[in-house]
Amino acid sequence: MVKSSETERKERMDTSSLMEKILSSDNLNRAYLQVVRNKGAEGVDGMKYTELKEHLEKNGEIIKEQLRTRKYKPQPVRRVEIPKPDGGVRNLGVPTVTDRFIQQAIAQVLTPIYEEQFHEHSYGFRPNRCAQQAILTALDMMNDGNDWIVDIDLEKFFDTVNHDKLMTIIGRTIKDGDVISIIRKYLVSGIMIDDEYEDSIVGTPQGGNLSPLLANIMLNELDKEMEKRGLNFVRYADDCIIMVGSEMSANRVMRNISRFIEEKLGLKVNMTKSKVDRPSGLKYLGFGFYFDPRAHQFKAKPHAKSVAKFKKRMKELTCRSWGVSNSYKVEKLNQLIRGWINYFKIGSMKTLCKELDSRIRYRLRMCIWKQWKTPQNQEKNLVKLGIDRNTARRVAYTGKRIAYVCNKGAVNVAISNKRLASFGLISMLDYYIEKCVTC
């Protein structure tokens, strides 16, 4: 007998016996494949992801029984500090491979249940959703007359989640005590910092497979509050902006929503970084915003800080003293270009792409010029590439700095854009036009 979709939905929403779904062979196999696909660093036990299969073959049944009887004890996460581009560090907690496997199995069962509860304007860490959708939704709201932005910064959100509040929220939906028990154990499993154990009294460390889902469960309470107040908002994980029609309304919303976050959710709003601003003053998910007077609407573009970050990485990849072949540099540049354009393809940036194309080619010309080393070789190669001998000799023996030489006509003609393309270098502008969804 074929089950109706409504029957399947009711079975999926039955949260009283979730542990057996979590421990089903199909779910565990999917969790294993995902953990291996993600690779990742070792946890406190030093086990590599490549050793997980053998470990589960030996201990899988024991682990399953421990989970059923609430005797499984997660290991502490290993603290890793990741530098932020604008200073400071982001604390990551790396679980053991075994704990990543178990967390993934739990997340796979809980995600469909919570997906039915999550708000349509929540985009972070959710299936089939992305940052670009968040930006396009924000633009729709701005262009609907909501051009005052409430930008709320949650201070160290992942490190400050209140365990009791989070478990109370989870308990409203999840009725399987075994699942509730293991989630709480993961929250309080502790942290190893330089071989020293530290209790995890608050927080859900970034780095675990469950952490993104738990973050969305907590912040869905904020979404529901904003929905109840009739606010236009977009949230991507802990990055939330609210769009309103006037400065007065924006300041009122900032006060009221900040109060709700701190009093009801037990989180901390960073009032130094939180602000009320116009779209032109906003940086959200790496994008900036501007008003296009010809189109009479707001548009997105890569923020200046995102552009600076790209230029910094591009400069590293075209460093003349980097001891790799120029073909390898081109390969890495192409990876950088494709990744950057694919992320920012909803933005307006034809002029920017032209500028960056020019800069990349200029720096590659300097790499090639340096590779030719001696004036004799430089002259010979210029002639080989079609430059007359007198000009080639004058350029090669000029004695000027490489940056000056490679910005002049002869080198530009010899190492032309077409020739760089024949080496495999892709054009940012061409790739952007190919991928752009708003052009």
Residues 134-188: tens digit of each pLDDT? 999 999 999 999 999 999 999 999 999 999 999 999 999 999 999 999 999 999 9
Q: Strand runs (DSSP E) across 343-383, as ranges?
A: none
CB 214 within 8 A of CB 186: no
Does the structure show a pLDDT above 70 at 8? no
pLDDT for position 1: 46
Query: What are the structural domain ranges in the chain?
Result: 17-279, 303-438
> pLDDT tens for residues 259-299?
999 999 999 999 999 999 999 999 999 999 999 999 999 99
pLDDT for position 403: 85
Phi/psi of residue 379, each to 5°?
Answer: -60, -45
List all residues 6 or more positions away from 322 whose beta carbon is below 8 Å from its beta carbon: 316, 329
> pLDDT tens for residues 74-114?
999 999 988 877 677 888 999 999 999 999 999 999 999 99
Does the structure show a pLDDT above 80 at 389? yes
CB 279 within 8 A of CB 291: yes
